[in-house]
A = this chain, B = another copy of it.
Amino acid sequence: MLVHTISEVREKVREWKKQGLTVGLVPTMGALHAGHKSLIDKSVEKCDKTVVSVFVNPIQFCPGEDLDKYPRTLDADEKLCNEAGVDIVFAPSPKEMYGEGHIMSNDFLTYVIPPFFYVNKLCGKSRVGHFDGVCTVVNKLFNIVQPDFAFFGEKDRQQLIILKKMVNDLNIPIEIISCPIVREESGLALSSRNKYLSEEDKKDALALSKILFNIKACYNKGVTDCNALTETAYSYLNQKHSLEYLEFRDENDLEEKKTADDGTIVFIALKIGEVRLIDNISLRA
């Protein structure tokens, strides 16, 4: 069932709760692919009822980013959800989420702001304000749907860590379930932004997963010095790649690692032309 208003989704969830049913929420920006599908499947399996939100959240896009051209495919998204057994697709307008004038600056809107230590690195460094927008909209969605469980992909690992921190810091009575990255056979991590890639770009995009897989292979052979592990990456880069970061950080608090261990996540971001891609891998076996 497709619903566009907060009051409709609340009414439905209230009915479910009265019946003692558990509710899962899968927050998305739409343009659903097999990665989202894996989150949806997990929710449908684990919870009595599943809500998928589809909302391209304006306040998490920075100036100059792809808000206007971000892919919007609501009909296809709804179809995928229906076939997967989703109970509600919640697709609100920006006006429904941010009010009449929908003034979205922090001059006039209450924000949920993640800790500086978690956002002053990795994607947060180039996407200033991005995680403020993410935490704010996810907090709103949590309050609107009041799910028991919420499902997020490990593809956006910094986001996942920040949202877990938000849930913990604000005592939000929801359990966050994380789901592994889904990859094409080639190794490329699925992303709605892959739609921006030409066939040739896609070949170049394999550098991300190749670098990560190679680092993990070296770690498994006993290399733990992060500088040494980083150096193995350079052979995969060509002049079309603009590397934004390749970093080793703790899986819980994003502290930098000099020596890799099982609790280490390797994060990478690089640009191919105008398209910015991210990926990451846990060194745990």
In whole angstroms, what is the CA distance A4 to B91 when docked?
A: 41
Given the known A-B contacts A108-B117, A114-B110, are A140 and B10 also in contact in the complex, defined by CB atoms under 8 Å? no
Choose, from A62-70, A166-174, A191-199, the stretch at the interface.
A166-174
Cβ contact within 8 Å between B110 and A169: yes
| Interface size, chain A (Cβ < 8 Å) | 30
Q: How many copies does the complex hold?
A: 2
In whole angstroms, what is the CA distance A111 to B131 when docked?
A: 13
Write out the residue numbers on chain B whose beta carbons fall within 8 Å of the beta carbon of A109: 115, 169
Given the known A-B contacts A140-B170, A143-B172, are A113 and B110 also in contact in the complex, defined by CB atoms under 8 Å? yes
Within 8 A of B (CB), among A135-160: 135-136, 139-140, 143-144, 146
Write out the residue numbers on chain B whose beta carbons fall within 8 Å of the beta carbon of A106: 113, 115-116
A121 within 8 Å of B (CB atoms): no
A83 within 8 Å of B (CB atoms): no
Write out the residue numbers on chain B whose beta carbons fall within 8 Å of the beta carbon of A143: 170-173
Measured between C-beta atoms, what is the minimum distance from A20 to chain B in Å? 9
A6 within 8 Å of B (CB atoms): yes
A112 within 8 Å of B (CB atoms): yes
Cβ contact within 8 Å between A108 and B115: yes
Contact with B along A1-35 (1 / 0, CB 8 A): 00000100010000000000000000000000000
Cβ contact within 8 Å between B173 and A146: yes
A-B contact pairs, 19 of them (CB 8 A): A6-B171, A99-B168, A99-B169, A106-B113, A107-B115, A107-B116, A108-B117, A109-B115, A109-B169, A110-B112, A110-B165, A111-B112, A111-B113, A112-B112, A112-B170, A113-B113, A140-B169, A140-B170, A140-B171
Interfacial residues, chain A to chain B (CB-CB below 8 A): 6, 10, 99, 106-117, 135-136, 139-140, 143-144, 146, 165-166, 168-173
